[in-house]
Amino acid sequence: MWKQPAPANSSFNDYNTFPLPQTQRGQSSHAHGPVGHTQQPLVTGTSVLGLKFDKGVMIAADNLASYGSLARFRDIQRLHPLGKHTLLGVAGDMSDFQWLKKELDALLREEDALALSDSHPSLSPKNIYELLSNLFYARRSKMNPVWNAVLVGGWDKVKEESFLAYVDLLGTTYTAPTLATGFGAHLAQPLLREAFEAKAGINGDGPLLTQEEAEKVLDDSMKVLFYRDARSINKYQIATITAEGVSISDSKSSDTYWKFAEGLRGYGAQTQ
Amino acid sequence: MALYSQPPMSYTQEPTTAPVEHRFNPYSDNGGSILAIAGKDFSVIAGDTRQSEGYSIQTRYARKVWQLNDKAVLATNGFAADGTNFVKRVKQRLEWYEHAHHKPMGLKSIARMIQTMLYGKRFFPYYVYNILGGIEEDGTGAVYSFDPVGSYEREACRGAGAAQSLIQPFLDNQIYFKNQQPEAGSEKFVPGNLPLSTVLSLVVDSFTSATERHIEVGDGLEIYVVMQKGRSADDLLDEKKLAPGLKVEELGALGEGEGERTFLVRQSLKRD
């Protein structure tokens, strides 16, 4: 009864996540029934932003996991480090994200164990991204998608350059110096591109943003998202990945300004 | 009018209250366009580098044209995730073939292989339009075009993708000389004999025009040129004969190198 029509032209959108219980009444239910597929996301995270700067790459995401339009879990970390030089920023279904964390952490543990007794190279950001891409594409091909959009940020130790790439539930992959998922692709990506191109030029061959500049752009973008994305919260973290490794900031808030709202007319009950 | 009005509901169908099924859609359309033109002793395969979904540009550089071996280049267009994964499988099959037969697969064999690989997924198709270009075993330039489920034919030219409807009529006119008549007393038009410089200009004009009129085309242009063994590359490498803005690089032989040469010509396209 709460179902809203699926938006045209999109198979997945972070915001059509109404929690409809999908139990099949009147049919015999087995304890070990058919394999359950994620047919729709339930508890979801909204936009993730990514931006390259002169010494590495930054990824930002807020701390909210929504249950439909309910701001259900307000202290969820959606940035997940993998090893010393890779980090995931995850939007979409949070239970799929938890499963993904578990699988990848297990893999990395195995790799670490191998590295103890051998000169075993650690997984590069590229390796992890390739693995994720193959996983997401394989799962979508089984009609059992991992319902997420993921930004992979990292530092490639061999090439000595930053890494930033996107993969989603369809197995669609791409890289760019600035990336954003979900609503961020509409609201923040233009701001990120504008800031990036202002210094680096349209071919990206000029100087990149400094760490301070990059953080400022992300702060501004997260503020815009908080103002306009109804599934966001004013509490977010920024991860910075450089040659030195991964560091994830404490949660922080934007300074917001609402005074103008009192002067607004036309959105609700007003006497005058 | 009553005579023609709808019969009462009870005669036809009871109104149903079944919930609207929201099924996962495993496909997407990532825009862009590709084209290929065969010459007498060369073949040209081109594609733009924009990847988009709906009105959003995902990245300004994503590859759609892939060098398979020293005499074959494949362009893919449609659903990008299917495209990259299809090319990956084609490359793997080509490698297996080399291990088994100690020679690279010929162009017409690659074409037939692609048809079986596409038809093999007839009931869950790769949502990809493929154009294969290269040098045939007899040394002639060739173009093969495919539909998503494997129907294919050899042609002198083919455009595909978002701007197919803009590009193909232009090529029909310029390559097949459709709606043109030779002057009285002059020789008949024979398709497939145009010089490389003319073909390159046609490719560039096709894409600059498509960029003007189609929102999903733009950002960058990659043109692969495959040349028959022994053919002089002076007409491509001479800076003075090349249109301004084009950058040429020779791609080294992928295998043993039997004499065919592949060049990559790049140009930027408008980004709006």
Nearest to A145 among B24, B28, B54 (CB): B24
Q: For chain B, first and last CA: distance in Å?
A: 52
Among all residues of chain A, which has the CA nearest to that of B124? A141
- The alpha-carbon gap from B220 to the nearest alpha carbon of chain A, in Å, equals 11
Sign of CA pseudo-dihedral B223, A137, A77, A222: positive
Which residues of chain B have a CB within 8 Å of the CB of A176? 58-61
What's the pLDDT at A5?
52
Q: Residue A141 half-sphere exposure, CB side, CA atoms within 13 Å?
A: 18
- Domains of chain B are 30-268 (3.60.20.10)
Which residues of chain B have a CB within 8 Å of the CB of A11? 24-28
Whether A263 shows a pLDDT value over 90: the answer reads no
Q: Which two tokens stand for residue B64?
A: 């759609």
Which residues of chain B have a CB within 8 Å of the CB of A6? 20, 22
- Tokens 């073909």, residue located: B199
Sign of CA pseudo-dihedral B67, B69, B74, B79: negative
Secondary structure of A64-106 in HEC code, one letter for each residue = CEEECCEEEECCCCCEEEECCCEEEEEEEEHHHHHHHHHHHHH
What does DSSP say about strands B247-251 and B261-268: parallel, antiparallel, or unpaired? antiparallel
Among all residues of chain A, which has the CA nearest to that of B270? A202
Using alpha carbons, list the distances in angstroms from residue B183 to B170, B187, B192: 21, 8, 19
Q: Which tens digit of pLDDT belongs to each residue from B210-219?
A: 999 999 999 9
Nearest to B22 among A40, A137, A143 (CB): A40
ipTM value, please give it.
Answer: 0.90
Nearest to A186 among B28, B56, B85 (CB): B56
Q: Which of B17, B24, B61, B84 to mutate to test the interface with A (most CBs of A within 10 A)?
A: B24
Tell whether B17 lies on the interface with A, counting CB pairs under 8 A.
no
Long-range contacts from A23-26, C-beta under 8 angstroms, 24+ separation: none
Among all residues of chain B, which has the CA nearest to that of A140? B26
| Rounded-to-integer distance, Cα A142 and Cα A139, Å | 5
Q: Which two tokens stand for residue B35?
A: 């084209």
Mean pLDDT of A180-184: 97
| Rounded-to-integer distance, Cα B176 and Cα B126, Å | 30
Which residues of chain A have a CB within 8 Å of the CB of B79? 170
Q: Is the Cβ pair A174, B20 closer than 8 Å? A: no
Q: Is the Cβ pair A141, B51 closer than 8 Å? A: no
What does DSSP say about strands A79-82 and A86-93: parallel, antiparallel, or unpaired? antiparallel
Nearest to A174 among B24, B26, B58 (CB): B58
Helices (H), chain A: 94-117, 125-141, 183-187, 189-200, 211-228
State the amino acid at position A152 in one-letter form: V
Q: What is the dihedral of CA B81, B87, B93, B99, to 10 degrees?
A: -130
Which residues of chain A have a CB within 8 Å of the CB of B22? 3, 6, 39-40
- In the residue annotation, A38 being an active-site residue is answered as yes
Q: Is the Cβ pair A172, B56 closer than 8 Å? A: no
Tell whether B18 lies on the interface with A, counting CB pairs under 8 A.
no
- The alpha-carbon gap from B62 to the nearest alpha carbon of chain A, in Å, equals 7
Q: Which tens digit of pLDDT belongs to each residue from A195-253?
A: 999 999 999 999 999 999 999 999 999 999 999 999 999 999 999 999 999 999 999 99
> Could you tell me if A179 and A221 are in contact, meaning their C-beta atoms sit under 8 angstroms apart?
no
A172-211 residues touching B, CB cutoff 8 A = 172-176, 185-186, 189, 202
Catalytic member of A38, A44, A86, A240: A38
B37-56 residues touching A, CB cutoff 8 A = 51, 53-54, 56
Digitized pLDDT (tens) for each residue of chain B, 272 residues in all: 455 565 555 555 555 555 555 689 999 999 999 999 999 999 999 999 999 999 999 999 999 999 999 999 999 999 999 999 999 999 999 999 999 999 999 999 999 999 999 999 999 999 999 999 999 999 999 999 999 999 999 999 999 999 999 999 999 999 999 999 999 999 999 999 999 999 999 999 999 999 999 999 999 999 999 999 999 999 998 877 788 899 999 998 887 767 899 999 999 999 99
State the amino acid at position B204 in one-letter form: V
Among all residues of chain A, which has the CA nearest to that of B62? A174
